[in-house]
Amino acid sequence: MVDLSTFDPNSVGNPNNNIFGLPFEEDEARIVILPIPWEVTVSYSAGTARAPEHVFNASLQVDLFDPEFKDAWKQGFYMRKPDQKILIKSDYLRKEAELYINYISQGEDVNKNKFMCKTLKEINQGSVFLNEWVFQQTRDLLAAGKLVALLGGDHSTPMGYFKAIAEKYPSFGILQIDAHMDLRKAYEGFKYSHASIMYNAIEEIPQLARLVQVGIRDYCEEEFDYMVASNNRIITYFDKDIKERQYEGLRWKDIADEIVSHLPEHVFLSFDIDGLDPKLCPHTGTPVQGGFETTEVFYLLKKLLQSGRRIVGFDLNEVGVSQDEWDENVGARVLYKLCNMLAVSNPR
């Protein structure tokens, strides 16, 4: 156990310590945050591959006192350094993807261009590599008794973690906070696109019993039809419907309880930060008007904990980076709250 007798949780975060200024090493920490600096398939704004280091820096300004989950941080939170080999691979493939996306956006036929066929194949192979790397990293951490938080990067990054969770739990659900359904099949030709993460999870992970999507407000007909045909394996709460029910007098408590009721005992939280109101994440990859306040999401998660269900892991993705550091400050505070909730959801 780390000696906390000389650590002042009320002081400014020490940059010589780890995330949130906490004095834990990985072997001492109960929660390990795995940063994934990857954004190969983003289809609008880039930058999220470098979010982990920015969130880390912003985390030093986060106050540790959380009256709802007092002293949860004492269980130990630790963030690994972003793997530079993954970042370099992401940067290289991102440039390739930009050329490819520009080519197809002009209506060109990929099959008539050998270079573009090669580029697409290389990008898809890179995504398979990333999925396997994340799977190995998260599986090893889970086997070591750690609770794991994944920090992206774009929303394609947790696929390997989903598979590691599926290996540990024979049945689980995903609670997805997001502006997008992410149910597109091989979006833009990219099999493991950030826009296809939940489609791939449904198709490849039979242990995933239920996907509950909340805050959705930007989607295509193909995704909607896929959800409808899922035989309730996918349940979607659209942002418009949530707000209209509230306009007509229904309390957020009642809607939150209803959302939670659809989830099984073991729940993985997949949090795309664009599920929030874009005033809180203006530099996220694909911002969409509407969305939640952070307090609304935290209330939903509190109701999830009160129901007796267990959060078995989470990812936080699509945090943008900006000169004013607003996005990463919001991201750091969301990350801290989620770490607290993961800790208390898994009593020793």
DSSP 164-194: HHHHH-SSEEEEEE-SB----SSGGG-TT-G
Q: At residue 27, does pLDDT exceed 80?
A: yes
User: 127-138: per-residue pLDDT in tens?
Assistant: 999 999 999 999
- Residue 1 — pLDDT band, cuts 50, 70, 90? confident
pLDDT over 90 at 125, yes or no: yes
Query: DSSP code of 29?
Result: -
pLDDT value at position 105? Answer: 86
| 42 has pLDDT over 90 | no
pLDDT digits (tens, 9 = 90+) for 274-320: 999 999 999 998 999 999 999 999 999 999 999 999 999 999 999 99
Q: Do 315 and 275 contact (CB within 8 A), yes or no?
A: no
Beta-bridge partners for 214: 177, 237
pLDDT on residue 47:
85
CATH code for the part of the protein at 19-345: 3.40.800.10
Paired tokens of 119: 């580029």
Are 296 and 259 contacting, i.e. CB atoms less than 8 angstroms apart?
Answer: no
CA distance 75 to 69: 12
Confidence (pLDDT) at 109 = 86
Whole-prediction pTM value?
A: 0.96
DSSP for residue 33: E
- Number of separate helices (H) and strands (E) present in the chain: 10, 8
What distances in angstroms separate CA 144 from CA 27, 65, 76, 137, 158, one per listed residue? Answer: 9, 28, 15, 11, 19
Spell out the domain ranges in the chain.
19-345
Average pLDDT taken over every residue of the chain: 96
Say what percent of the chain tops pLDDT 70. Answer: 99
pLDDT reading at 106 higher than 90: no
Q: Which amino acid is at 299?
A: Y
Q: 304 by DSSP, 3-state: which? A: helix
Give the span between the Cα atoms of 147 and 145, in whole angstroms: 7
